[in-house]
Chain A
Amino acid sequence: MREILTLVRKDLDVEVRTKETLASLLLLGLLTLLVLSFAFDPTSAMRAEAAPGALWVAVTFAGVLALGRAFLIERENDCLEGLLASPVDRGNIYLAKTLSTFVLMAIAQLGIVPVFVLFFDVEPTPALVGVLAAVMLGVLGLAALGSLLAAIAVRTRAREVLLPLLMLPLIVPAFIAGVRATQDLLAGGSLAAAQPWLGSMLAIDVIFLVVGWLLFGAVVEE
Chain B
Amino acid sequence: MRRWFDTVHPGLTLVAMAAAIFFVFVYVPTDRDQGIIQRIFYFHVPLAMMTYLSVATVALGSAVYLWRRDRAWDRVAHGAAELGVLFCSLVLITGPIWGKPVWGTWWTWDARLTATLILWLIYAGYLLLRSVAPGEQGARYAAVLGLVGALDIPGINRAVYWLRTIHPAVIQNRDGSTGLADPRMQLAFVVCLIAFALLFAWLLWIRTENLRLQDSVEELRQRALHT
Contact = CB atoms under 8 A, between A and B. Distances in A.
Interface of A: 145, 148-149, 152, 155-158, 162, 165-166, 168-170, 172-173, 176-177, 180, 200, 204, 207, 211, 215, 218-219, 221
Given A156-B133, A158-B132, A170-B122, A180 B144 contact: no
Identify the 4 closest CB pairs spanning chains A and B, nearest first. A173-B159, A173-B155, A169-B121, A176-B159
Given A152-B141, A155-B137, A170 B162 contact: no
Contact of B140 (A180, A200, A218): A218
Contacts of B145: 149, 152, 166
B128 A162 contact: yes
Interface magnitude class on chain B: 20 to 34
Nearest to B122: A169
Interface string B122-133: 100100110011
B18 interface: no
B148 A211 contact: yes
A170 B148 CA distance: 8
B119 to A, nearest CB: 8
B132 A180 contact: no
A165 B152 CA distance: 15
A152 B129 contact: yes
A177 B160 CA distance: 9
B122 A152 contact: no
B128 A176 contact: no
A176 B118 contact: no
B66 interface: yes
**Among B121, B137, B155, B162, which residue has the most Cβ atoms of chain A within 10 A?**
B155
Contact of A158 (B128, B137, B140): B128
14 contacts: A145-B148, A158-B132, A162-B129, A165-B125, A166-B129, A169-B156, A172-B156, A173-B155, A173-B158, A176-B163, A211-B151, A218-B144, A219-B140, A221-B140
A148 B128 contact: no
B141 A219 contact: yes
A1 B122 CA distance: 34
Contacts of A149: 145, 148
A162 B163 CA distance: 28
Given A156-B141, A204-B155, A215 B148 contact: yes
A152 B152 contact: no
Contacts, number: 77
Contact of A172 (B118, B132, B148): B118
B74 to A, nearest CB: 12
Contacts of B159: 172-173, 176-177, 200
Given A158-B128, A162-B129, A165-B125, A173 B152 contact: yes
A205 to B, nearest CB: 12
A169 B162 contact: no
Nearest to A145: B148
B164 to A, nearest CB: 11
Given A152-B144, A180-B162, A219-B144, A166 B125 contact: yes
A75 B55 CA distance: 32
A176 B157 CA distance: 11
B133 A173 contact: no
B147 interface: yes
Nearest to B154: A173
Nearest to A158: B132
Contact of B160 (A156, A176, A219): A176
A219 B129 CA distance: 13
A1 to B, nearest CB: 25
Nearest to A210: B151
Contacts of A221: 140
**Among A145, A152, A158, which residue has the most Cβ atoms of chain B within 10 A?**
A152
